[in-house]
Amino acid sequence: MSKRRRIAVANWKMYGKLTSGLALARRICTLVEENSPLSYDVVLCPPATLTWSASEVIDGVYSLSIGGQDCHYESYGPYTGDISAAMLSDLGAKFVILGHSERRIAHGETNAFIARKIEAAQFAGLTAILCVGETAEDLNKDSALSVITTQLKESLPAKVRMSQLIIAYEPVWAIGTGIQPSPEDIAKMHKHIRSVLGESGETTRIIYGGSVTPANAPLILANDDIDGVLVGSASLEAESFWAIAEHCA
């Protein structure tokens, strides 16, 4: 039994239009209600276009929340195309994924930039889900541990509120590839992250993401030190997401 309340996060990425996205949210809502009360949290992170309508679908359902996939570091301003944490919160979001490798790589987001976003998210009342993870190249150079240490040290703002923070360990080479670290390697990295976090390491939720499926979820979540999962492609179908999430119990 995990010491911390576990959490299953669905990252829908840029998938889901009004009809299909809300149908998925409704189906997951039903599964949560049928199994209520859950001993863990479930967070759906749809595209920003669905934040409000998905919030309405899940409204009042215990243990189920909506999250964003990114936010700007300012509350408002002349930033065409961006969305602030305050706006996400206004639409009913309680969480936001920050520093995902797809944003670090495709949008050139740096650790310093991500730190500002975490500060903004927490100021707006959101819980930030900070993604960290080494690339295949880092792994081959045997520098995964030091890369994660740097990402943590530089991405966490000086005034970080640890009660509004979740760390997602997501090796870049495991995202969307069907390849994964061994449970032992995941456990080793989680321990490392806890040690970098120091005193807060024991209370902070640290989850794993990267090619999580119904088949491998039981193995990953067999370890009490893993506080949950961040699921991409397998979260786009309610039954497969549920077959993963229920192992958080």
Where along the sequence are the contacts to ligand PGA (CB under 6 A)?
Answer: 11, 170, 175-176, 209-212, 230-234
Tell me whether residue 197 or residue 234 sits nearer to ligand PGA (CB atom): 234
Contacts of residue 133, defined as CB under 8 A and 6 or more positions apart, other chains included, come to 101, 148, 151, 169, 170, 171, 172, 174, 175, 210
Q: Tokens standing for 209?
A: 């993401």
Task: Tell me phi and psi for residue 210, to 5 degrees.
Answer: 130, 100
- CA 103 to each of CA 33, 131, 132: distance values in angstroms, whole numbers, following the listed order: 33, 10, 12
Active site residue 100: yes
Instruction: From the candidates 102, 170, 192, 247, give the one annotated as an active-site residue.
Output: 170
Tell me whether residue 125 or residue 176 sits nearer to ligand PGA (CB atom): 176
Shortest approach of ligand PGA to residue 159 CB, angstroms?
27
Shortest approach of ligand PGA to residue 16 CB, angstroms?
14
Between CA 120 and CA 102 the distance in angstroms is 20
CB 240 within 8 Å of CB 214: yes
Provide the 10 A C-beta neighbour count for residue 49.
13
Tell me whether residue 8 or residue 54 sits nearer to ligand PGA (CB atom): 8
Shortest approach of ligand PGA to residue 164 CB, angstroms?
20
In the chain, the amino acid numbered 52 is: W
Instruction: From the candidates 100, 190, 192, 247, give the one annotated as an active-site residue.
Output: 100
Shortest approach of ligand PGA to residue 75 CB, angstroms?
26
Tell me whether residue 86 or residue 101 sits nearer to ligand PGA (CB atom): 101
Residues belonging to the active site: 100, 170
